Structure 1
């Protein structure tokens, strides 16, 4: 099977809408996504993403045979954190547990470090999202701490974990 990280396209709207309709995916994402998530919502997201500054937003479709099955984005922070980016990602449930998330995170981090001045990439998964924490650990991220009572999701107060990877840590040459 051929996996790729590639830029999003407007023609991906249907696949993106299907991914974000799945409650299993939405359960571990931040709030703010419309529900139901329609193709119109996907087109609006894609238009905004494609118009974003390519030095500020690094957005990829995780694709199998060129069909999006997940999403990965890194978002440059501002002010004194301008050389830091936040990482977010998700996969459709049919692709969980196959090493795809780890592969995608490794590839994207290598790509961004090779092409930008970023020094640090961080992610803040919910502490109970053990699979996402494991993806980050396998991709070379270090656990820096637990952010206690850091989020309210579906009426529940949740801890989050702070993971980070800095430039030069486990960075072979990119293969994208």
Structure 2
């Protein structure tokens, strides 16, 4: 399955993406506001381990963002359990060389629509560190609404930050 954007596509990750994944992900500006499970430095071994895991996913929820013929970012939905089973979390990153081109806003819109139409989501949520204002703008441009702020709830690279909660809901029919 492939989802088309204006100047990119969302597609399943492939093992041959390892070199481009490593090259684009190995940037402190990319990993700065991501969870610690996204390492920095990002080695070729990290890329290969991620791809070995993600290429076996049962439901397609994590996509490579292909720009100019190579995997230059990632976007995915983290499916949850119990009372949250219809409210996935969205997460994303993009190579710094492609920032400012509108790719991520469109990718978030596409994947959010996918969540509502293919995964029966009732709500898609995003948690954003307070210093990541670029990501907040991406979500707002993609139609997400700020739900609130959890004060001093995360620490990344020794900095304590608030976490901003965003959500999107299906359009009324």
For normalisation by structure 1, the TM-score amounts to: 0.89
CA distance in 2, matches of 1:153, 1:161: 15
Aligned residue for 2:128, secondary structure, equals: coil
Q: CA deviation at 1:51?
A: 1.2
Aligned residue for 1:80, secondary structure, equals: helix
Q: CA deviation at 1:53?
A: 2.3
Q: CA deviation at 1:33?
A: 3.3
Q: CA deviation at 1:152?
A: 0.6
1:52 aligns with 2:52: no
Aligned residue for 1:145, secondary structure, equals: strand
Structure 1: gaps of 5 or more residues: 172-176
Q: CA deviation at 1:113?
A: 1.5
Aligned match of 1:4: 9
- Count of paired positions: 168
Aligned match of 1:71: 74
Equivalent residue for 1:104, pick from 99, 104, 107:
107
Residue pairs, 1:25-174, within 5 angstroms: 25-54=30-59, 58-168=61-171
Aligned residue for 2:48, secondary structure, equals: helix
CA distance in 2, matches of 1:81, 1:47: 27
Moved over 6 A (4+): none
Aligned residue for 2:129, secondary structure, equals: coil
| Contact residue 4 and residue 66 of structure 1 kept, 8 A | no
CA distance in 1, matches of 2:130, 2:163: 5
CA distance in 2, matches of 1:129, 1:34: 18
CA distance in 1, matches of 2:97, 2:74: 14
CA distance in 2, matches of 1:45, 1:66: 20
